[in-house]
Structure 1
Amino acid sequence: MMSTGVQWIGTLGPGKTERWYTWGWNPALHVVWYMMPTTPKSGAPELGWEVAVERANATQCTYWITVKNLTNVQVTFEGRYAILS
């Protein structure tokens, strides 16, 4: 059974890029990360992101998520995850 949630809420200024991290995840899980803007702006994509992973130890991993605001206005967004079954 799949589970989903919001790990954090972030805000990026126009054209800005920042990196977030979240730690303590079980490396046996298949986790998908995605960003959902909560600031409406129609006509074009608002966010781009990349995910990197660190195996912190035998039982935990850390995800490093870099998010870029593709617009010329401030964007607030949710950093969401889905744990696939």
Structure 2
Amino acid sequence: MRVGTQFTGTLAPGQTGRWFTHSWPQEWHVIWYFMPTSPQPGAPQLEWETQVERASGTLVTYWLTVRNLSNAQLQFEGRFAVLN
């Protein structure tokens, strides 16, 4: 398994943002997840959704929607894990 950080982002309170990342090999099994880097104890800080576009016969684009659930500005990392 390989893991890494693809990008970092910042969201205002309650804000939703959308990012994309392209040219991933279609044969890779990629999992996307997000980690807050701004501490705020007591409640969940973010949620996300992953959508997939088959950009070509061999490449995939991932569309990543992240929502700040908190009432404070939030910084986060967009992380991935390649399982195969």
What's the TM-score once normalised by structure 2's chain length? 0.99
Deviation at 1:68, TM superposition (A): 0.1
What's the TM-score once normalised by structure 1's chain length? 0.97
- The equivalent residue for 2:46 is 47
- The equivalent residue for 1:9 is 8
Q: Please, what is the CA RMSD of the aligned residues?
A: 0.4
Aligned length: 84
- The equivalent residue for 1:27 is 26
1:75 aligns with 2:53: no
Which segments of 5 or more consecutive residues in structure 2 lack a partner in the other structure?
Answer: none
Take 2:28 and 2:43, find their aligned partners in 1: how far apart are those partners? 33
* Percent of residue pairs bearing the same amino acid type: 56
Moved over 4 A (4+): none
Which segments of 5 or more consecutive residues in structure 1 lack a partner in the other structure?
Answer: none
- The equivalent residue for 1:63 is 62
